[in-house]
């Protein structure tokens, strides 16, 4: 899968200054982080930014598009950028993380493919998996104490994705269970979706 995505990214012009931007979006625990790590392992120097680090905690999804855009706009001008990393254990923002322009930036997480920054995306990937599986994965990853938060998160992300129409705008749709082949959608006129 990573090879397919890299082939598509490499076949398109740079959109993030001199670099390319791969947005891996989709609901929580669908397999986005795993896919991002697989891509990064194949291309030395790839920068991976997790959208979770940009969010203002559990209530951050409604403004994720602003956080993503603030990160990406300087990089689009080939300038360094940064973000304040949210510390989920402490419930507050922590250190500032610098992000230098790179040949490939992989932005992964809920809201990575927002409309606000779609003009900068070289490729938008939608990763999905059944809700029951995602809840199980989320509890395994984050612990049982997060189960109460998950219900509201599922509602918030569904609202975000409906407003953003992310799945329909994605260039590639990936089954996070690996049960079916990816679906690649051509971009009209070769431009951004």
Structure-block tokens of residue 6? 């890299």
pLDDT of residue 188: 60
pLDDT of residue 72: 98
Is-contact 144 86, C-beta < 8 A? no
Q: Indicate the SS3 state at residue 187.
A: coil
Tell the residue number behind the tokens 């419930």, with chain if given: 91
pLDDT in tens, the chain (193 residues): 999 999 999 999 999 999 999 999 999 888 899 999 999 999 999 999 999 999 999 999 999 999 999 999 999 999 999 999 999 889 999 999 999 999 999 999 999 999 999 999 999 999 998 888 787 887 787 777 677 778 888 889 999 999 999 999 999 999 988 888 899 998 764 444 4
pLDDT of residue 2: 93
Question: Counting beta carbons within 10 angstroms of the beta carbon of residue 48, is it exposed (0 to 12), middle (13 to 18) or buried (19 or more)?
Answer: middle
Number of other residues whose CB lies within 10 A of the CB of residue 153: 19
The angle that helices 131-142 and 147-164 make with each other, rounded to 10 degrees, is 130
For residue 54, what are the contacts with CB-CB under 8 A and spacing of at least 6? 60, 64, 67, 68, 71, 83, 86, 109
- For 135, the enclosing helix (H) or strand (E) is helix 131-142
Is-contact 31 138, C-beta < 8 A? no
Distance CA 82, CA 74 (A): 9
């Amino acid at each position: 899968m990573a090879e397919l995505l890299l082939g598509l990214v490499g076949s398109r012009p740079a959109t993030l200054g001199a670099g390319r931007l791969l947005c891996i979006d989709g609901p929580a625990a669908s397999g986005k982080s795993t896919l991002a790590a697989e891509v990064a392992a194949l291309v030395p120097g790839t920068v991976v930014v997790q959208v979770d680090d940009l969010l203002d905690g559990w209530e951050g999804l409604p403004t994720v598009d602003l956080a993503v855009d603030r990160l990406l706009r300087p990089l689009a001008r080939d300038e360094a950028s940064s973000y304040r990393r949210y510390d989920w254990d402490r419930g507050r923002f922590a250190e500032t993380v610098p992000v230098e322009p790179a040949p490939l930036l992989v932005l992964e997480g809920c809201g990575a493919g927002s409309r606000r920054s779609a003009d900068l995306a070289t490729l938008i990937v939608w990763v999905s998996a059944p809700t029951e599986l995602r809840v199980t994965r989320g509890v395994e990853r984050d612990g049982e104490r997060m189960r109460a938060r998950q219900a509201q998160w599922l509602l918030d992300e569904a609202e975000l994705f409906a407003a953003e129409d992310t799945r329909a705008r994605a260039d590639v749709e990936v089954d996070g269970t690996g049960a079916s082949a990816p679906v690649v959608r051509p971009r009209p006129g070769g431009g951004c979706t």
